[in-house]
Amino acid sequence: MKRWMGWVIGLVAVALIAAAALRTVQSRRAALAAASAPASAPLALELAASDVVVARQADLVGTLGISGGLKAVDSAVVKAKVAAEVKSLSVREGDAVKAGQVIGQLDTLEVDLRLRQAEQTAASARSQLEIAKRSLENNRALVDKGFISSTALEASISTEAGATATYQAAAAAADLARKARADAVLVAPISGLVSQRLAQVGERVAVDTKLVEIVDLSRIELEAAIAPEDVGGVQIGQAARLAVDGLAEPASAKVVRINPSTQAGTRAVMVYLALAPQRGLRQGLFARGSIEAQRKRALVVPLSAVRVDQAQPYLLEVANGRVVQRSVTLGLRGDAEFDGRLDSAVEIVKGIVDGATVLRGSAGTVRDGTAVKLGTAPLVPAASSASAVATAR
């Protein structure tokens, strides 16, 4: 029995040693096969359609960046022309008013009293004038008959002249009092919208106190400060596109005036652009955009496609399914249309040809020689610019 158990244990040990040896041989054969097999092709970088753009001939619009606040061309402030208490004010912010519309009333008690006083003073002066005139007529008749001297007549003439001047002064004072009475009625000088109500009913206001501000939004302008070195390229009539805060659609504008003087301190020149009527424009909104300074037909690419992390700017062109770095010479910068949208662009003077496919900035950093594809199909451009680069060099 003991001899039989010994034989079994020995056979099991031999089987385990044989299995381990077989496993070692198989692993060595797999390693040798892997080493001898040809290297697999590297995976291509997959690009989205928005990561590439085709360089092409297009209208490049050279622009000058501007920004500033919007301001209504026509605005008015209704002020108190007499010192009085605000009796009524019928408008508030946002209300529409028309030119000549009564929008409020100042208390006229004091003004009425002054008017009555002025009218009574004028009536008294008129009575004195009539007495002086009758006295002058009588004295002239007496002088003709020799009853009084010419000296007495001259005194009557002077008295009549003084009474006339006193009456005229009193009549003018009465007219001023009547004007003050009329000025107590608050009238809108222009048509528009109320932007500010600066007084309340019952408040006593002094002369020239601001009560209501009215703006006419039918004509809106942008006030933009232009640097002295750039103002030479600005001319009346040039078009501009503006992005206004709060508006989804860009606004179109045109240069209508250029200030002949510079601003103190900054030496900037104010340029005024009239905006085309558009819903949503408000006084005080901030706008930024560009003036169309010049237009040129040129080979353009989006400005974001140009790489500047090296000594010379370059583009990453896709040629035969691979990325090729092309050094380029840049020209005019401005705006051009790509895929139906206006974008910042730059002219390519030398380095690629019309129709070359290049990577946008959204593609990120890609090394020269990297294999790329668009979707599942290899990306092959319509024309490679290799020959053009060689010719340019």
The residue among 385 and 341 whose pLDDT is bigger is 341
Q: What is the pLDDT of residue 62?
A: 77
* Confidence grade of residue 34 (pLDDT, cut at 50, 70, 90): low
The arithmetic mean of pLDDT across residues 317-323, rounded, is: 87
How much of the chain, in percent, has pLDDT values that exceed 90? 38
Nearest residue to 351 (alpha-carbon basis) of 329, 324, 371, 383: 329
* Confidence grade of residue 375 (pLDDT, cut at 50, 70, 90): low
Q: Are 343 and 302 in contact (CB under 8 A)?
A: yes
* Confidence grade of residue 389 (pLDDT, cut at 50, 70, 90): very low
- Every domain of the chain and the residues it spans: 49-62+295-392, 66-72+216-294, 109-180
Alpha-carbon span 308 to 49, nearest angstrom: 23
The arithmetic mean of pLDDT across residues 43-50, rounded, is: 77
Alpha-carbon span 235 to 258, nearest angstrom: 8
Lowest mean pLDDT among 134-138, 276-280, 347-351: 134-138
Q: What is the pLDDT of residue 253?
A: 94
Average pLDDT, the chain: 83
Residue 81 CB-density burial (10 A; 0-12 exposed, 13-18 middle, 19+ buried): middle
Q: pLDDT, tens digit, for every residue of 114-129?
A: 999 999 999 999 999 8
The token duo for 247 is: 């508006």
Alpha-carbon span 175 to 180, nearest angstrom: 9
* Confidence grade of residue 133 (pLDDT, cut at 50, 70, 90): confident
Q: What is the pLDDT of residue 216?
A: 93
Residue 376 has pLDDT above 50, yes or no: no
Q: What is the pLDDT of residue 388?
A: 38
Q: pLDDT, tens digit, for every residue of 47-73?
A: 877 888 888 888 887 778 899 999 999
Q: What is the pLDDT of residue 385?
A: 40
The residue among 37 and 198 whose pLDDT is bigger is 198
Domains 66-72+216-294 and 109-180 share a fold: no
Q: pLDDT, tens digit, for every residue of 96-113?
A: 999 999 999 999 998 889
Q: Are 70 and 244 in contact (CB under 8 A)?
A: yes
Give the start-end residues of each E strand in 237-285. Answer: 239-244, 251-262, 269-275
Residue 334 has pLDDT above 60, yes or no: yes
Q: Which of 26-35, 45-54, 166-175, 227-236 has the highest mean pLDDT?
A: 166-175
Residue 272 has pLDDT above 80, yes or no: yes
* Confidence grade of residue 12 (pLDDT, cut at 50, 70, 90): low
| CB atoms near residue 100 (< 10 Å) | 10
Alpha-carbon span 90 to 198, nearest angstrom: 13
- Superfamily of domain 66-72+216-294 in the CATH hierarchy: Efflux pump adaptor protein, beta barrel domain (2.40.30.170)
Which residues contact residue 225 at a Cβ distance below 8 angstroms, ignoring those fewer than 6 apart? Answer: 68, 263, 266, 268, 269, 270, 271
Torsion of CA 339, 345, 346, 350, to 10 degrees: -10
The residue among 146 and 366 whose pLDDT is bigger is 366
Tell me the CATH number of domain 109-180, given options 3.90.550.10, 1.10.10.60, 2.40.110.20, 1.10.287.470: 1.10.287.470
Supply the CATH classification number for the domain 49-62+295-392: 2.40.420.20
Q: What sign does the CA torsion over 322, 328, 332, 333 have?
A: positive
Q: What is the pLDDT of residue 386?
A: 39
